[in-house]
Amino acid sequence: MAKIPTAAVAAAGLIGGYGTARWSGRRELGGVVLAAAGAASAYQWQRQAGTGTAAALTGLYVAAFGGSHPLSKKIGAWPSVLAVTGVVAAASVVATRR
């Protein structure tokens, strides 16, 4: 079975979490998607690159979620989510490259 890249899991968590919250009208459901993908990503980051890198990438993931809120006031909701998702995905690829 092919392994899903961790960058894709993290991206799915940020985009899917926002989309779920927006379209369901239930922020907590979006939070569940965000948290589940974040936990899966953290686990994979730790296995691929070690605890320190996993902690840094998990911190970035959480900061991206938080930072997308004020950024959305400047550039819009979807552009903000996509921008922070790109940063997290790129950092994940760079940090886990072998």
The pLDDT score that the predictor gives to residue 1 is 47
Residue 71 forms part of a structural domain: yes
Length of the chain, please? 98
Residue 66 forms part of a structural domain: yes
Residues of the chain short of pLDDT 50, as ranges, are 1
Whole-prediction pTM value? 0.93
Report pLDDT digits (tens) over 64-73: 999 999 999 9
Q: Rounded to an integer, what distance in angstroms lies between the CA atom of residue 38 and that of residue 30?
A: 12
The pLDDT score that the predictor gives to residue 2 is 52
The pLDDT score that the predictor gives to residue 98 is 73
Q: Are the C-beta atoms of residues 67 and 54 closer than 8 Å to each other?
A: no
Q: How many domains does the chain have?
A: 1
Residue 1 forms part of a structural domain: no
In terms of residue numbers, what domain contains 47? 6-96
Residue 46 forms part of a structural domain: yes
